[in-house]
Structures are given as structure tokens and as C-alpha cells.
Amino acid sequence: MADLQHEPHDDGLVLPPDTSPLGPIEQTPLKVQIADRLRTAIVTGKLKPGAVLVETALAERMNVSRAPIREAIQILENDGLVETVAYKGRRVKPLSVREVSETYDMRQIFEMRAVRRIIERKIPAGALWQPCQDMERAAQAGDREGLVAADERFHRMLITLADHQLLLQSWNSIYLRVHQIMALRNDRRVPLTDIAANHPPIIRALEEGDMDRAVGLIAEHTRSLESFDPATIAGAPQ
């Protein structure tokens, strides 16, 4: 019997044995596409804490019906980024001062543990240079959104390199809030080039296996919460 993968089609094309790139195209549900766009707007600070999400306005702006908008907002509510307020509808969930503080506390714990594990297990840290370089390019271009995205990739990669499943799961439970807080905070903070410059010393300390310096640098980096008032980015009165 002939190998069907090698039979010519009507147009004369002969398919190679591995045709996986030519497999079925996945159709992402509209509600997921909308949720992804809204989630990005929230975690990059374009949609601020407390912003009301009006289905009719969003449907008109995105040129879709209200049904997938409603389903997308429900996804974001499950993410913890949106909340329903009685008699007022849905809004981007405000950040309390306590939530900002506790999120940064947990971030510090997770990242210090990741740094220790990377050095203890002699895990190569070279993969961290790519997001670091992306941050530098974004900073030079004045691209805040690009820098925040690259910053998030750097810290996610740091956690991933530690090769600790529970640690990664715990990080996943807060990373949307971390990204959102970083974006809101960086809008009010130091020059982008200074933000980008914080990261190369961390990588060098990891590559040199200098535990004390690496832990100290990541602690200092994540402890930057102390240098600003979390109430300045919290979206609700305390």
C-alpha cells in the first residue's frame, strides 16, 4: 500500500513525513480572545483598578456582541482581576494597600527561594539574558509596556529555572497581580533604563554561584516596595 503522506496532491505538492505544522488550525473562542485583550489591558495598567466594565460600550468598541463580552468578563472574574459590585455592575478589582504589600511579600519569598535553588543545584542561568536584553531595548525605546512585559518574563523565567513545581504553581497564583502592580508602579517610578539596569547583576551573581550576593540582590530588588507608598497605586480607600 502506498504511503499516503508521500502521495502527490492534485496541485503536485508532496507532503513530507512530518506534517504536524500543517495540521488543523485551532480556532480560539471569541470569549477567550476578548478575555486575553482585557486581561492585557488590566495587567499593563491601561485599565486601572476600579474601572467599570460596561458590556455595551466594550461590545461596540470591539465590534462584537454582548454575549462573548459577558463570558470574557466572567473569565477575568475567575482570574481575580474583576469583581461584581451590587447595583453597580462589574469593575476591575481595586487593589488594597494590604493586597499590594502581601503580594510583594510573597513575590520576595518565591524569588529568594528560586535563587537559592538555582545556585544549590548549579542550574545554568543563561536563559535570563534574553528577557534582560529585551528590557534594555524597551528602555532605550521608551517602551514602558514592552519593558514591563520583559520584566515579567525575566521573573517568570527565574521561577521556572528553579524547577520546583509547587513554587511555580504558587507563582502562577499571584503573577497577574504582580504584573499589574509592576505596571502601575512603574508608571510613577524611576527612568526605564534604571529599571532595566537592576537585572544584569542578578544574573551575574547566579552564574558565579555567589549565594549571598544573589539572594541579597533579589531581596533588594523585590523589596523595592518599601521605597514607595502602596496606597498610591491601590484602587480603593482603606
| Helix (H/G/I), strand (E/B), else coil: 23 | coil
Tell me which of 212 and 97 has the higher pLDDT: 212
Amino acid at 142: G
Mean pLDDT of 218-224: 81
CA distance linking residue 220 with residue 213, whole number of Å: 10
Per-residue confidence (pLDDT) for residue 189, from 0 to 100: 56
Dump pLDDT digits (tens) for 69-81: 999 999 999 988 9
State the pLDDT confidence band at 206, using cuts at 50, 70 and 90. very high
What are residue 83's DSSP bridge partners? 91
Q: Which domains does the chain have, with CATH numbers?
A: 30-92 (1.10.10.10), 97-227 (1.20.120.530)
Give the DSSP H/E element, type plus range, for residue 97: helix 97-120
Residues in the chain: 238
- Given a contact cutoff of 8 angstroms between Cβ atoms, the answer to whether 187 and 144 are in contact is yes
- pTM for this model (two decimals): 0.72
Question: Per-residue pLDDT for 171 more than 70?
Answer: yes
